[in-house]
Amino acid sequence: MPTISVEQSLISNLLAKHNLVNNVEVLSNELPLLGTDIDNCTNEILDIEIFPNRPDLLSGETLCKAIRTFIHGQDAEPSMNVKPGTISVTVDKELENIRPVVLAGIVRGVELEGDIEIDAFIKSLMDHQEKLHFALGRGRRRASIGVHDLSTLKPPFRVKAVSGDTKFVPLAMTEEMSIVQILEEHPKGIDYAHLLEGFEKFPVIVDSDDAVLSFPPIINGNHTTVNNQTRDFFIDVTGWDIRSCEASLMLIASQLEERGGQIESVEITSFDGKMSQYPNGTAIQHEVPTELLDGLLGRSLTDEEITKAINRMGGKYISRNNNNSITIEMPRWRFDILHPVDLIEDIAIGHGYEDLGTDVPKSPMTAIPRADGHLRRRIRDSMQGLGFMQIQSLTLSNDDDQFNFVRFTPVGEVTRITNPITIDHTLLRQYLTPGLMRLLAKNQHHNLPQSVYELGTVVRDHKNSDRVAFLVAERSGGFAAVRGRVQAFMRDIGASSYVIEKLPDDEGPWLSGRAAKIVIDGIHVGCFGEIDPSISERFDLRVPISGAEFSLTNLADSITDPV
C-alpha cells in the first residue's frame, strides 16, 4: 500500500483556513475508519498507509479535504469549482495510435510563503505525482502527469508526433538531447522506454513557440520546471485510459486548490476533432436501488441518516425516487466507485457499523471437511513442534526468483500477468522456496537461527496445487541436521515407508552432493538439502541455509489418512 507522511502543522494550517481545529487524538481514532492504516501519529507527524482503493487520499492536501467532511462534519462539495479558461490544447491525428488521451488544466494563484514551506510543497507535489503514477497510471502506462510553471510557457499548446532525432533540454539537464538519447541515456528514459517500444514517432507537447514542454510519458522540458517562484501551474495528463487520466488531473488540481489556487479549464481538441473542457468539475449522479441498500446493510436508513453518512464520505444525498432507489452525487475524482455496492460501502462507513441490522443464515448447511484437512493439520503440528514459524508470502513472483536464481525448471506452462505493474510480480509462483529466501533476506537484522515454513498454493500449468516448504538459517547444522528434520516431519505426517534417493546435480537450489529426494511407492513427493551458497548470494544471504520442499498433493496420494 502507498504510504504518505504529512506534517501535523500542514493539517492544522489547512483546517484553520476553514475555521476547523486539528486534533491528533481524533485523527488517530477516526482515520482508520476512512480506509487507511496509521503507522505513526504524533504531534509532529502523521505516517499513514492509504488503501489502494482510495487514491484520492495520496497527498496531505487531498487527505485534509476528506478530513473536513469525515471528521469535522463540514458540508461536502462533490463538484469542483472550475473557472472557464481561455487556453487551448490541440492534439494531432497521429496521436490516435501513440498516446490518444490528452487532458490538461490550469491552476492560478497558489498561496505559498517562505522557502521552507515552498520547498516542502514542491517535494509533496512531486511525491503525489509519483504515487498517482503507481496507483492510477499503472507505472505511467494508463496515465502520466506533467506539472509545469505556466509563466514560462506561451499558449496555445499542441500535442504532436515527432521523430526520434527531435531535440530539447530534458528536466535536470543542461544540454539538448534527442528523444532516442533520452530513451537510452536519461534515467527516466531508461526506466520508461518500454512504454514507447516499437514506435517510430513519439509524442511531445509544444507551445506556440514550438518549445517542447513535455515528452510524455517520459520527461518534462527543463525550462518549465516548478520552482520557488511558481504560483501558476499548467497540468498535462496523457495516456490510454480516460478515467485514470481524468482522476489524475483532478487530484493534482485539487491539491493545488487546497493551497488557495483557482482551477481553470482548458479547451482540448482531441485527435478526432472533438472539443471538450477539462477539468470537468461536475459531480456524477449515481442511482442506488433501495432493495440492494437495505438488503446489504440489514435495515432501512432514514433520509437523514443517509444524508449524514454520504456527506462524511464527500458526497451529497439528492433524493429518494418512489422508494425504489436513491440518487447520490459523488466527486468525479472518486476513481474507486464502479458499482452501487461501492456507494453502499461508503454509506456504511459514513454511518458506522455499530447499529446496522442483524440477520441469520436463511438456509443452514453442514460444513464438509477438506479431503486434505487432516494432513494439513498434522503438517502444521509437526512444523510447530520442530520450532518453525509459519509465514504466508505473495503468490505473485517473477522469473528470476522462481527459475533463474534457483535453478528450478518450470512445470508445464507458466501463468503470467498480462499487465504487471512491477517487475517483481510478473507471474504466479510454481515454488515456495524462493519466497522463503526473500523473507530471510529481509530479516537479516534478526538473530540466528531462523526457522520458517509455508503451507501454500502454487500455480502449475494454469492449475492450483498445494505445497509445503521450510528453510533454516543457522551457523551450523548441514545436511545431517536437515535430514533429521525431514525424517521427523515424515514420521509426524504418518509416512511409515519411504526411500531417500540422491538428487541430480544442478536440479534446484541445492548444493551438489548435499541434497536428496524422497520417494514413496515410486512417487517423488519432495526434496531437501543444503542451499548452494552461490544461490544464497543472489538473495543477498551469506549464512548457511538448509531446507526442503514437498508436494502436498503427492503426499496426500501416498500417505494413508489415519483418521
Average pLDDT over residues 535-554: 90
pLDDT, residue 36, reads 83
Find out whether 139 and 218 touch, Cβ atoms under 8 Å. no
C-alpha 153/C-alpha 224 separation (Å) is: 7
Same domain membership, residue 30 and residue 13: yes
Query: Please, what sign has the CA dihedral across residues 362, 367, 370, 373?
Result: positive
Q: What is the pLDDT of residues 122-178, one digit of tens each?
A: 999 999 999 999 889 989 999 999 999 999 999 999 999 999 999 999 998 889 999
Instruction: Look up residue 221 and give its DSSP letter.
Output: B
Same domain membership, residue 108 and residue 19: no
Query: Please, what sign has the CA dihedral across residues 219, 220, 221, 227?
Result: negative
pLDDT, residue 422, reads 78
pLDDT, residue 418, reads 85
In a domain, 325, yes or no: yes
Same domain membership, residue 97 and residue 238: yes
Same domain membership, residue 246 and residue 97: yes
C-alpha 278/C-alpha 251 separation (Å) is: 13
pLDDT, residue 142, reads 94
Find out whether 204 and 146 touch, Cβ atoms under 8 Å. no
Same domain membership, residue 170 and residue 145: yes
Same domain membership, residue 184 and residue 157: yes
In a domain, 357, yes or no: no
Q: Which residue has the cell 492544522?
A: 12
How does DSSP assign 140-203, residue by residue?
TTSEEEEEEEGGG--SSEEEEEE-TT-EE-BTT-SS-EEHHHHHHHSHHHHHHGGGGTT-SSEE
Pick from 99-113, 276-290, 317-331, 351-365: least confident? 351-365
C-alpha 383/C-alpha 378 separation (Å) is: 9
C-alpha 18/C-alpha 68 separation (Å) is: 9
C-alpha 58/C-alpha 135 separation (Å) is: 9
Share of the chain above pLDDT 70, in %: 99
pLDDT, residue 369, reads 78
Query: Is omega for the bond preceding 217 within 30 degrees of 0, making it cis?
Result: yes
Query: Please, what sign has the CA dihedral across residues 507, 513, 519, 525?
Result: negative
Q: How distant, in Å, are the alpha carbons of 154, 171, 199, 204 from that of 98? A: 25, 22, 8, 11
* Last residue within a domain, chosen from 70, 92, 112: 70
In a domain, 359, yes or no: no
- At CA 542, angle to CA 540 and CA 543, rounded to 5? 130
In degrees rounded to 5, what are phi and psi of residue 116?
Answer: -65, -45
Strands 36-41 and 45-50: antiparallel
- Which helix or strand (DSSP H or E) is residue 512 part of? strand 510-520
The enclosing domain of 540 has a CATH number of 3.30.930.10
Contacts of 183 (CB under 8 A, 6+ apart): 164, 189, 190, 193, 196, 218
Same domain membership, residue 112 and residue 257: yes
In a domain, 433, yes or no: yes
Same domain membership, residue 295 and residue 270: no
Find out whether 265 and 82 touch, Cβ atoms under 8 Å. yes
In degrees rounded to 5, what are phi and psi of residue 118?
Answer: -65, -45
Per-residue 3-state assignment (H helix, E strand, C coil) for 320-343? EECCCEEEEEECCCCCCCCCHHHH
* Last residue within a domain, chosen from 244, 278, 312: 278
Find out whether 172 and 249 touch, Cβ atoms under 8 Å. no
pLDDT, residue 10, reads 92
Grid coordinates given for 246: 481524468
Pick from 196-200, 355-359, 529-533: least confident? 355-359
Query: Please, what sign has the CA dihedral across residues 50, 56, 62, 67?
Result: negative
Same domain membership, residue 52 and residue 141: no
The enclosing domain of 146 has a CATH number of 3.50.40.10
Find out whether 519 and 497 touch, Cβ atoms under 8 Å. no
Same domain membership, residue 111 and residue 43: no
pLDDT, residue 1, reads 65
Q: What is the pLDDT of residues 305-344, one digit of tens each?
A: 999 999 999 999 999 988 799 999 999 999 999 999 999 9
Range of the domain at 456: 373-558
In a domain, 75, yes or no: no
**What's the number of domains the chain is made of?**
4
Q: What is the pLDDT of residues 463-500, one digit of tens each?
A: 999 999 999 998 887 888 999 999 999 998 888 888 88
Query: Residue 244: pLDDT above 80?
Result: yes
- Is 211 buried (19+), middle (13-18) or exposed (0-12) by CB count in 10 A? middle
pLDDT, residue 165, reads 93
pLDDT, residue 29, reads 87
Which residues face 547 on adjacent strands?
471, 529
Same domain membership, residue 300 and residue 232: no
pLDDT, residue 349, reads 93
Same domain membership, residue 272 and residue 294: no
The enclosing domain of 45 has a CATH number of 3.30.56.10
Query: Residue 355: pLDDT above 90?
Result: no
Which pTM was predicted? Answer: 0.70
pLDDT band for 563, please (50, 70, 90 cuts).
low
With both helix axes pointing from N to C terminus, report the angle between 340-351 and 303-312 in degrees, rounded to the nearest 10: 90
In a domain, 427, yes or no: yes
In a domain, 55, yes or no: yes
With both helix axes pointing from N to C terminus, report the angle between 60-70 and 115-135 in degrees, rounded to the nearest 10: 80
For 210, the 3-state DSSP assignment is coil
* Amino acid found at 287: E
In a domain, 502, yes or no: yes
Q: Residue 162's closest CA among 76, 255, 95?
A: 95
* Last residue within a domain, chosen from 261, 278, 295: 278
